[in-house]
Chains A and B, each alone.
Chain A
Amino acid sequence: MPDRFAIDTSELTRQFGNLTAVDHIALRVPYGEIFGLLGANGAGKSTVIKMLTTLLSPTSGTADVGGFDIIRSPADVRRRIGYVSQLLSADGALTGYENLRLSAKLYDIPATERKERIENALEFMSLVDSADKLVRTYSGGMIRRLELAQAMLHRPAILFLDEPTIGLDPVARHTVWDRLIDLRRNHGMTVLITTHDMEEAEALCDNLAILHRGKISVVGKPAELRAGLGEGANMDDVFVHYAGGSIQESGTFREIVQNRRTAHRLG
């Protein structure tokens, strides 16, 4: 069944001059899954998201998103996805309601349904009381929730989130997580999320892939990846092991674990 996967890439590659930012990636994300894409800065996470959301053309390879080819049918892909970028993209000079109304119009939500959909989205994101305030007066967490509301307003099948909780305080971060879990549970939405936050990856993701220098180092469930590194390994250890760099700089995994244990004992 070709349409079983919400995201299905084959040999997906992007080069910038001599630099290969994404190198022959094969990734399959089933519908309804929250999938994490992890990696150090410059590993290629954002480039992958940009290609899958049709913002950037691949140099070679293919990808289907929501059953449509990102190169041949970009408009069909765009209708089926929602996107929250790493940047705070809500327009600060507009109110929350106005930001949502713009999205509703660009996503061709019928005029008769617009008001109700916007109100539902505001309610779902606990932003009803702030709907008529300028977004520049919102807190970081409120802006992120507004952006999620914008991204889900047209009821996309797949949601792309590029480091959505970066810079948020723990309360705001947990609120965003709760909303994402609700979205998956209530709407069956597939979510692809990039993050540096290992706690986030473990709390949210059914499966995750770790990118290193544009290539996928490993794919698996968080618990399996931890177990694969031995007893006592946590998600940070998994990241360090598969995301590269730190091993060469700081010794082997075993040494890192030992050093941590020692540090822990020493308090």
Chain B
Amino acid sequence: MKRFIRESAAIVQVELIKLIRDPTEIISRAVQPLLWLVVFGQVLAQVRGIQTGQLSYLAFITPGILAQSVLFSAIFYGIAIIWERDLGVVHKLLVSPALRISLVFGKAVAAGFRGLLQATVIYLIAFVMHVSLRLDPFAIFAVLVSVMLGSGIFATFSLVIACIVKTRERFMGIGQLLTMPMFFASNAIYPLEIMPGWLRFIAQINPLTYLIDALRGLMITGGESIHGYAVDFSVLLAVFCALLFVAVKLYPTLAE
């Protein structure tokens, strides 16, 4: 266990150093949630075409935009993995005696820290736009855990795809193909209740839905988790463990 923590921490440390040295990605990724909340959210709020219960539309979509931001940021993690493969960094890591699970888990945790930076940006935007946020320590802590877990899931999923496609060109195509359908087939910008049956079914098997459900209850004053936190976190944890298992099996194939 000590070895697993040390090795994972070494990977996280390296990723964080790189992120701090070049925060361009974080800054550029802040633009998209800004557009969704300030433009899309405000316009749709005026229309009042989507019933969101006691929450304002802006408050309703804020957790959805955070989850979207986490998804979009983490899902392209695979490109960095393919880049590392092309540079030979993956080969060097895999020749070391480090546990494969440490290498993959370290990447997932590093993605989690990127997600936390996204969350900070979205909290700031939401605060400026007078969205009523829960700021009690339990809620904040639980949001951090949710974001870490969500980032870990999508980064690991991304790593699995990278291991299968192995080239940046293919990955870009598949990444685009996955992210938008995952976003629209979730409860990010409209509630599950108004979806047609087939879409609701897809949303129910989409892990993004459970992340948003948990965030909606934890971030927004008066918000609630439809499935319940126990279900949300159990699903997220189970998906993360399953993806981690697959990623650990596939990661060494990157060096073949």
Which residues from chain A sit less than 8 Å from chain B, CB to CB? 50, 53-56, 75, 78-79, 81, 83, 85-89, 91, 93-94, 98, 101-103, 105-108, 150
A105-B10 contact, Cβ under 8 Å, with A54-B95, A83-B95: yes
* Complex Cα spacing A79 to B92, Å: 13
| B256 and A106 form a contact (CB under 8 A) | no
Which residues from chain B sit less than 8 Å from chain A, CB to CB? 3, 6-7, 9-10, 13-14, 17-18, 21-22, 86-89, 91-98, 252, 255-256
Q: Among A83, A91, A107, which residue has its beta carbon within 8 angstroms of that of B91? A: A83
Q: For B93, what are the chain A residues with a Cβ–Cβ distance below 8 Å?
A: 106
Q: Closest CB-CB distance, A155 to chain B, in whole Å? A: 13
Q: For B10, what are the chain A residues with a Cβ–Cβ distance below 8 Å?
A: 101-102, 105-106
Q: For B96, what are the chain A residues with a Cβ–Cβ distance below 8 Å?
A: 78, 103, 106-107
Q: Closest CB-CB distance, B49 to chain A, in whole Å? A: 46
| B91 and A98 form a contact (CB under 8 A) | no
Look across to chain A and name the residue whose beta carbon is closest to the beta carbon of B93: A106
Q: For B88, what are the chain A residues with a Cβ–Cβ distance below 8 Å?
A: 85-89
Look across to chain B and name the residue whose beta carbon is closest to the beta carbon of A77: B97
Q: Among B7, B91, B256, which residue has its beta carbon within 8 angstroms of that of A105? A: B7
Q: For A101, what are the chain B residues with a Cβ–Cβ distance below 8 Å?
A: 10
| B95 and A78 form a contact (CB under 8 A) | yes
Q: Closest CB-CB distance, A13 to chain B, in whole Å? A: 15
Q: Among B97, B252, B255, which residue has its beta carbon within 8 angstroms of that of A106? A: B97
Q: For B92, what are the chain A residues with a Cβ–Cβ distance below 8 Å?
A: 83, 85, 89, 103, 150
* Complex Cα spacing A54 to B95, Å: 7
| A106 and B91 form a contact (CB under 8 A) | no
| A55 and B255 form a contact (CB under 8 A) | yes
| A50 and B255 form a contact (CB under 8 A) | yes
18 additional A-B residue pairs with CB within 8 Å, beyond A91-B87, A102-B13, A106-B7? A54-B95, A55-B94, A56-B255, A78-B95, A79-B97, A86-B88, A87-B87, A88-B88, A93-B17, A94-B17, A94-B18, A101-B10, A102-B14, A105-B7, A106-B93, A107-B97, A108-B6, A150-B92
* Complex Cα spacing A93 to B25, Å: 14
* Complex Cα spacing A81 to B91, Å: 13
Q: Closest CB-CB distance, A51 to chain B, in whole Å? A: 10
Q: Among A85, A86, A108, which residue has its beta carbon within 8 angstroms of that of B3? A: A108
A85-B91 contact, Cβ under 8 Å, with A94-B14, A102-B10, A105-B10: yes
Q: Closest CB-CB distance, B249 to chain A, in whole Å? A: 13
Q: For A53, what are the chain B residues with a Cβ–Cβ distance below 8 Å?
A: 95
| A105 and B6 form a contact (CB under 8 A) | yes
| A89 and B91 form a contact (CB under 8 A) | yes
Interface centre among A54, A75, A81, A87 (most CB of B within 10 A): A87
| B95 and A55 form a contact (CB under 8 A) | yes
Q: For A94, what are the chain B residues with a Cβ–Cβ distance below 8 Å?
A: 14, 17-18
Q: Among B9, B89, B252, B256, which residue has its beta carbon within 8 angstroms of that of A89? A: B89
Sample of 14 A–B contacts (CB below 8 Å): A50-B256, A55-B256, A56-B255, A79-B97, A88-B87, A89-B87, A89-B88, A89-B92, A91-B14, A102-B13, A103-B96, A105-B6, A106-B7, A106-B10
Look across to chain B and name the residue whose beta carbon is closest to the beta carbon of A54: B95
* Complex Cα spacing A150 to B96, Å: 11
Q: For A83, what are the chain B residues with a Cβ–Cβ distance below 8 Å?
A: 91-92, 95
Q: For B255, what are the chain A residues with a Cβ–Cβ distance below 8 Å?
A: 50, 55-56
Q: For A79, what are the chain B residues with a Cβ–Cβ distance below 8 Å?
A: 97
Q: Closest CB-CB distance, A93 to chain B, in whole Å? A: 5
Look across to chain A and name the residue whose beta carbon is closest to the beta carbon of B10: A105
Q: For B95, what are the chain A residues with a Cβ–Cβ distance below 8 Å?
A: 53-55, 78, 81, 83
Q: For B14, what are the chain A residues with a Cβ–Cβ distance below 8 Å?
A: 91, 94, 98, 102
* Complex Cα spacing A56 to B96, Å: 14
Interface centre among B6, B95, B98, B252 (most CB of A within 10 A): B95
* Complex Cα spacing A6 to B24, Å: 47
* Complex Cα spacing A83 to B255, Å: 13
* Complex Cα spacing A87 to B96, Å: 16
Q: Closest CB-CB distance, A77 to chain B, in whole Å? A: 9
Look across to chain B and name the residue whose beta carbon is closest to the beta carbon of A104: B10
